[in-house]
Chains A and B, each alone.
Chain A
């Protein structure tokens, strides 16, 4: 049995690793007010470069570290130069979305190059442990601590004594004023991305050695942990990020000691949500508030939506409605059913992200809530399946809104972080609440869809059912947008301060939007549960949240028809072109990047 000292050492070591990621995030946030969601991907790339160096090139450890740092820095420079710099004058959400797209592309490239199977990454260090007090410590622990301290020292020297370091500090305090002193902000961005990437890459390599295993799932976890540590320490605050990381490492380690390993991440995200709600500027924020997120109009690309004549919509709906009468293959129907389910999720997200401006990155959690509720209602309480799906929608509306409500006072990027964390929390609760959700085993044998006692088993009937539900939801949402309520939603999105000044209660309107959106997403999840007949805590994951976001941006934020068109396009086109499954996520990432760069208003325009 490990001692408390062991848990403390473990917490500090893991904290050190997080710090390497979080410091980079803090540097980037400081200079660009951007949360770099690609940071974890660089960490992943670092781990695999380390693997190539150690296992294939047999480099000695010091050389491995240098190779990883340099290669990762190069990746960071490329991201900055080609992914982000072209977006300098775009809407504020553009760089955030771009980093999400970049992270998908990088992760998939690593996966395609190295296969998703885990690999061992030997540390090349002797496997001995020394007794220290009541605990033990090994050479790898010392290496990680050493790398952490050395990096901190180098960073300190850089920021304090080099000219570029001064420029970084000045730019992160006041970008315009720094430019007026002659600071070239592009160079500063380059420096910051290079440093962040080098630290992140080395961190990934060290973690791989620590657990002697690397796999592609590391990426998202690293981003999340880094973001948690950074926000706990105060966004943009470099020393704060270090302390936040160590704190996070300790909280996790003690949490694991008391409750078990499957709780590790739960503690991380709860810590994040608590900090976001109570001290959104971080634990150590000075009285001076962090610069507020931009308020007006600039967050979402303003544009004039494409007007689609009513007859065209009716005709399209009619064609899809009668499609099963034609000799279409099972495969086509299956694809379209997926599109309709994704369409419901996209309707929900386009309302929340587009119409009221809360860019959610955890929307798949709503699917999970709806799916589990409907599955459990129908199985344990024998509720008829049609009703159980509505129950899933209602539960999702209520629970989803309640869960998200702590983040109502947040804006911009913070909403995205909070929703991401809440999404993770939902999936972790599902994993750990075994008495209800059956934990990691998942729920199997979910009864098929049925309506008024008739089972819907044929693809045709499922097709009609899901299509009809989506159309009804879309019509309701269309009505909502043209109503007074819809106008209030947009007023809040465009200028929440002014909206508040006009007496609009932000919380009430945000709740209403999430209730409506939650219902649509919950229904989608409910249908999916009965369709799949088996679900577990990983069925609805962040990839789907991001896919939904891509759909919504493709269609045009806030645009109802756009959400459906986007779903059909993103689900259908890969099928049409017979693109192998493993390339799809890569393509979604590339689509997202291209959209952000060339058509941020989407195909049909934002509303």
Chain B
């Protein structure tokens, strides 16, 4: 190799995933370069959330490999993967509803043991998400959807991850909050955290992403730099095709 592309931070190669008999991924290959925001687009039931679960080790692929920072994640448990530096914002937030906002955020630092630094990071989250300051002792389940999204992001950042994977971070949010969330993702990314996000809303996601992949019933049908895809009519076709097939 002469031009040697830098080794990607995360790479899925030829992943095939099944739920029982049903195949969800067909030879899926995705790479996330260091420092980039990569977006996975696709219609309902195309297998986006399953891709997240594969990365996090919550679902095991039948074949194929997942590497993070050059080392395979296959065979590792979810907690082990998290300790390698991958944090997540799951679909529908999945906060610990009966724990306080503060406890939720601190749960994000579960893999760390440096008490003082954790306390500093908590303060940092409150500057990043100022609204959460007044809500720290409130039950997380009682927050609004937008506030919950902030908590979920703060929680993910607390592990000081090298990469965050997010499943539809803008789902169900008002336009104001959507902008806020996208802005935050960009900020997080500028601080050096790579981002892999799953989205249905292509136009929004392509605003902030560096690269994007389009998934249709388990196959990548389109991929490339976000700038190039933004105006690509095939994006729309892919969605329509996806919903027809579903």
Contacts and interface: CB of A to CB of B under 8 A. Distances in A.
Interface of A: 163, 166-167, 169-170, 173-174, 176-184, 288
Given A180-B90, A288-B141, A170 B97 contact: no
Contacts of B77: 179, 184
Nearest to B97: A173
A288 B141 CA distance: 10
B25 interface: no
A248 B107 CA distance: 36
Given A182-B79, A182-B83, A184-B79, A176 B90 contact: yes
Contacts of B103: 166
Interface string B46-86: 00000000001010000000000000000001110011000
B18 to A, nearest CB: 14
A561 to B, nearest CB: 27
A180 B99 contact: no
Contacts of A174: 94-97
Nearest to B108: A181
A480 B226 CA distance: 60
A169 B90 CA distance: 18
A198 to B, nearest CB: 24
Those 7 A-B pairs whose CB atoms lie nearest each other, nearest first: A182-B111, A182-B82, A177-B94, A179-B78, A173-B96, A181-B110, A182-B79
Contacts of B99: 169-170, 173
A121 to B, nearest CB: 39
A180 B155 CA distance: 11
B96 A180 contact: no
B207 interface: no
B58 A176 contact: yes
Contacts of A173: 96-99
30 contacts: A163-B110, A167-B110, A169-B96, A170-B96, A170-B107, A173-B99, A174-B94, A174-B95, A176-B58, A177-B96, A178-B107, A179-B56, A179-B58, A179-B77, A179-B78, A179-B79, A180-B56, A180-B82, A181-B82, A181-B108, A181-B110, A181-B159, A182-B79, A182-B82, A182-B83, A182-B110, A182-B111, A183-B79, A183-B110, A184-B77
B21 to A, nearest CB: 11
A465 to B, nearest CB: 46
A179 B107 CA distance: 11
A31 to B, nearest CB: 13
A335 to B, nearest CB: 42
Given A166-B110, A174-B96, A183-B79, 12 more contacts: A169-B98, A174-B94, A176-B94, A177-B94, A177-B96, A179-B79, A179-B82, A180-B94, A181-B82, A181-B155, A182-B78, A182-B111
A174 B94 CA distance: 7
Given A174-B96, A180-B82, A166 B107 contact: yes
Contacts of B78: 179-180, 182
A180 B111 contact: no
Contacts of A177: 90, 94-96
A180 B88 contact: yes
A186 to B, nearest CB: 9
A349 to B, nearest CB: 27
A177 B155 CA distance: 11
A184 B79 CA distance: 6
Contacts of A288: 97, 141
Contacts of A176: 58, 90, 94
Contacts of A169: 96, 98-99
Contacts of B90: 176-177, 180
B231 to A, nearest CB: 35
A169 B97 CA distance: 10
Contacts of A183: 79, 110
Contacts of B97: 173-174, 288
A179 B57 CA distance: 10
Contacts of A178: 96, 107
B75 to A, nearest CB: 15
A163 B111 CA distance: 10
Contacts of B56: 179-180
Contacts of B88: 180
Nearest to A186: B77
Nearest to B83: A182
A302 B58 CA distance: 23
A170 B79 CA distance: 14
Contacts of A182: 78-79, 82-83, 110-111, 159
Contacts of A170: 96, 99, 107, 110
Contacts of B83: 182
Nearest to B111: A182
B143 to A, nearest CB: 14
Contacts of B110: 163, 166-167, 170, 181-183
A174 B90 CA distance: 11
Contacts of A184: 77, 79
B193 to A, nearest CB: 16
A190 B235 CA distance: 49
Contacts of A167: 110
A169 B106 CA distance: 13
A124 to B, nearest CB: 41
A27 B155 CA distance: 25
Nearest to B58: A176
Nearest to A174: B94
A180 B94 CA distance: 10
A163 B82 CA distance: 17
B39 to A, nearest CB: 20
A177 B98 CA distance: 13
Contacts of B87: 180
B94 A181 contact: no
B80 to A, nearest CB: 9
A169 B110 CA distance: 13
A176 B90 CA distance: 9
A493 to B, nearest CB: 17
Contacts of B106: 166
Contacts of A163: 110
A358 B87 CA distance: 40
Residue of A163, A166, A167, A288 most packed against chain B (CB within 10 A)? A166
